[in-house]
Chains A and B, each alone.
Chain A
Amino acid sequence: MRLHAALQRRWAAAAVAFALIVTIVAAVLTLASGRHAAGVPARWGELVVWQALVYGSWVPIGAVVDRLVRRSGLTARLALLLYACGLPLAAAHAAFATGLDVLFSPAARAPEAAGHWAARMPIDLLVYLAVATFVVAVRAQQLAAEAADRAAGLAAALDAARAAAARASPGAAEPPAHLFVSVGSRRMVVDVAEVEWFASAGNYVVVNWEEREGLIRETLSALEQRLDPAVFARSHRSTIVNLARVREAASLADGSWRLVMSGGAELVVSRTYRDGVLERLRR
């Protein structure tokens, strides 16, 4: 979980860097066009430093907002706090950016700074709101992903406990060789060995075999208890795969894996079930 959080932080930092670079490049090119039109040489290095200072200064502001969000949690108090901070922060940043404009631009004059500051205010308000929204969205995503991981871990532990209890019970039934599957208005007998994967659909299970699909009125967890654990494995909260029908497996960027089944279908093995499935595929 800690490694996962570190990876998430790295992705968030990469997203910030991408947005910042695009913004700085756009701002530099805007100023260069203005200088070109006025017949003044662009002086690219100076423009890059100037705009990096103007927009890069939002990074520490974002860090402060991030701290605030982590400390307060996603509450109504946080919303009020973020809204209340908006005007003074944007006003202060607009003053800082106006100072930089006067310092770097030969056209900007100190007496006109008040008008310049007023024109900058809506832009800085918009940037502040974008920064705050990004920070809140990243935190909300992190909390939701952690909750989903915890729920999947609990579901996996519960499934494992149920399977162990079923195996330990002396009257445990043999795994079925056939399933009675509804396909439209018909009922078909399907050989369990031919099934490629099962998917959960509420109180039903979707059975996929030979590029066809049908329904069984049973939950995925209940069906899993009846299946042969040597052949079938949970690959996701909502899927069980036939290990004998896996043709190919490849890792994905987020740590999950993709399975290609013999019929060509692609399924995802979530991080929760990844190690178990890969171990059993290696056997």
Chain B
Amino acid sequence: MEPIITAFLAVHIVSGTGALFCGALPIFAPKRKGFHTRWGKCFAACMWGVLGSAIVLTLISRNAYFAALTTSATLGCFSGLRALRRKRPDVRQDDRATGLDWAVTIAALGVALLLAGLQVQGHVKGTPAVVWSLLAGAFVVGGYDLLRFAFPAAWPFFPRLWFYEHLVKILTSYAAVLSAFSGSIAFRFLPDPWKQLWAPIAVQILILGMILWYARQNRRRASAAAGG
């Protein structure tokens, strides 16, 4: 079993390092086909390497804490990428959630519920605050996604919602990679929980700024198109 664990651990570390560098490039690039999509695909491929190896390692080690971490990260990354295929569900039937979206989200919520049950019974090793935070994050993202799948044209839908959903969810996935890198490798000298949380804080500052920036840009474009 040891060589298998070492092999998947190597995949996990190499993919994680790749995601860390590939993921930084499309963030500031113009959001159109070309550089952004090319490096975005590299980031997605690395993330699947990270999450795939994490799933295998979780199953081997039967560690519920890693399972919570993997479930939450997989759901965020999957949902952020799938948002690109659900741009206009109000006009195109093909842009509505498919069986795959429903299956992955319900499965992730099922795993999260199971882990919550195990945590309540005291069977989970790891800091309870971190495990419950991860599970709560999975419930919020999964619950939001299920509502969007069931009522795709209801609030908060508007034609550019996919853009913001993609932005928030993918940047949150990137924050998870940065946080893991910081907590376990680069910034171990910082006190807890700063060494794990500075990355999500920095990324959240970026998300807030980017939402404001793009909302302003879209309003300017809309008023220019209307001749105002």
Interface residues of A (CB under 8 A from B): 7-8, 11-12, 15, 18-19, 22-23, 25-27, 29-30, 33-34, 36-37, 74-76, 78-79, 82-83, 118-119, 122-123, 125-126, 129-130, 132-133, 136-138, 140-141, 143-145, 147-148, 151, 154, 199, 236, 238-239, 252-254, 256, 265-268, 270
The 6 closest A-B pairs by CB, nearest first: A140-B215, A26-B136, A122-B197, A129-B204, A11-B155, A26-B132
B166 to chain A, nearest CB (A): 13
Contact A11 B156 (CB under 8 A): yes
Which of the 9-residue segments B35-43, B52-60, B206-214 touches chain A? B206-214
Chain A residues, Cβ within 8 Å of B158? 141, 144-145, 148
List B residues 134-179 near A (Cβ within 8 Å). Answer: 135-136, 139-140, 143-144, 151, 153-161, 164, 168
Q: Which of B139, B204, B205, B211 contacts A140 (CB 8 A)?
A: B211
Chain B residues, Cβ within 8 Å of A125? 197, 201
Q: Which of B91, B120, B226 contacts A239 (CB 8 A)?
A: B91
A-B contact count (CB 8 A): 140
List B residues 173-228 near A (Cβ within 8 Å). Answer: 191-194, 197-198, 200-201, 204-205, 207-209, 211-212, 215-216, 218-219, 222-223, 226
Chain B residues, Cβ within 8 Å of A267? 91
Contact A256 B153 (CB under 8 A): yes
C-alpha spacing A214/B207, complex, angstroms:
42
B60 to chain A, nearest CB (A): 25
Contact B200 A126 (CB under 8 A): yes
Chain B residues, Cβ within 8 Å of A199? 91
Contact B201 A29 (CB under 8 A): no
Known contacts A8-B155, A140-B215, A29 near B119 by CB under 8 Å: yes
**Nearest residue, chain B, Cβ from A145:** B158
Chain A residues, Cβ within 8 Å of B90? 236, 256, 268, 270
Q: Which of B132, B157, B197, B205 contacts A83 (CB 8 A)?
A: B205
List B residues 105-136 near A (Cβ within 8 Å). Answer: 116, 119-120, 122, 128-129, 132-133, 135-136
Question: 10 pairs across A/B with beta carbons < 8 Å?
Answer: A30-B132, A74-B212, A75-B216, A122-B193, A122-B197, A123-B197, A253-B153, A254-B151, A254-B154, A268-B153
C-alpha spacing A18/B160, complex, angstroms:
24
> Most chain-B Cβ atoms within 10 A of its Cβ — which of A11, A137, A252, A267?
A137
Known contacts A82-B208, A137-B211, A22 near B194 by CB under 8 Å: no
Contact A119 B192 (CB under 8 A): yes
Contact A26 B209 (CB under 8 A): no
**Nearest residue, chain B, Cβ from A120:** B193
C-alpha spacing A133/B157, complex, angstroms:
17
B168 to chain A, nearest CB (A): 8
Q: Which of B132, B136, B155 contacts A254 (CB 8 A)?
A: B155
How many residues does chain B have at the interface if contact means C-beta atoms less than 8 Å apart?
51
C-alpha spacing A267/B158, complex, angstroms:
17
Interface residues of B (CB under 8 A from A): 90-91, 93, 116, 119-120, 122, 128-129, 132-133, 135-136, 139-140, 143-144, 151, 153-161, 164, 168, 191-194, 197-198, 200-201, 204-205, 207-209, 211-212, 215-216, 218-219, 222-223, 226
C-alpha spacing A148/B88, complex, angstroms:
14
Contact B207 A133 (CB under 8 A): yes
Q: Which of A11, A129, A137, A151 contacts B201 (CB 8 A)?
A: A129
C-alpha spacing A18/B212, complex, angstroms:
24
Contact A122 B136 (CB under 8 A): no
Contact B193 A119 (CB under 8 A): yes
**Nearest residue, chain B, Cβ from A237:** B91
B178 to chain A, nearest CB (A): 14
A200 to chain B, nearest CB (A): 9
Chain B residues, Cβ within 8 Å of A148? 158-159
> Most chain-B Cβ atoms within 10 A of its Cβ — which of A30, A118, A151?
A30
Chain A residues, Cβ within 8 Å of B201? 122, 125-126, 129
